[in-house]
């Protein structure tokens, strides 16, 4: 049976290299499929990190605006929470 194979495939080093590649492609715990899954998860986590860093900057801006002087506190309350003085009316315009 071994005589029917080409001479290159009967070489010990070719067989050992082929077994090594099969082992690394599918059987090892760090195989290519696991590497691809981990890299895609890393990419999605980096996207989430960027999103949350933007949110942190936004919250920090709101915090600085809120704990500023009295006028900025009033402006923040009027814009974000639609608060008003007793003698005022508020009209909310919603753009579509």
Domain ranges of the chain: 44-84
Residue 2: per-residue pLDDT: 62
pLDDT at 10: 75
Tell me if residue 42 falls in helix, strand or coil: helix
pLDDT at 70: 81
| pLDDT confidence of residue 1 | 60
Cα angle: 25, vertex 28, 34; to 5 degrees: 70
Give the pLDDT confidence score for residue 44 in this predicted structure.
Answer: 97
Task: Report percent pLDDT > 70 for the chain.
Answer: 98
Per mean pLDDT, which range of 13-22, 50-59, 75-84 is the poorest? 75-84
| Predicted confidence (pLDDT) per residue in 76-95, tens digit | 777 777 777 778 777 778 88
Q: Enter the tokens of residue 38.
A: 């981990």
Q: List, as own/partner pairs, every contact residues 80-86 make where C-beta atoms lie below 8 angstroms and the sequence separation is at least 24, other chains included.
A: none
pLDDT over 90 (residue 64): no
């Amino acid at each position: 049976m071994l005589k029917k194979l080409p001479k290159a495939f009967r070489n010990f080093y070719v067989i050992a290299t082929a077994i090594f590649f099969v082992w690394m492609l599918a059987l090892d715990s760090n195989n290519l499929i696991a590497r691809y899954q981990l890299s895609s998860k890393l990419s999605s986590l980096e996207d989430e990190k960027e999103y949350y860093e933007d949110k942190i900057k936004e919250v920090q801006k709101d915090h600085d605006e809120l704990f500023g002087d009295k006028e900025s506190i009033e402006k923040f309350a009027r814009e974000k929470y639609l608060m008003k003085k007793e003698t005022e009316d508020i009209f909310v315009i919603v753009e579509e």
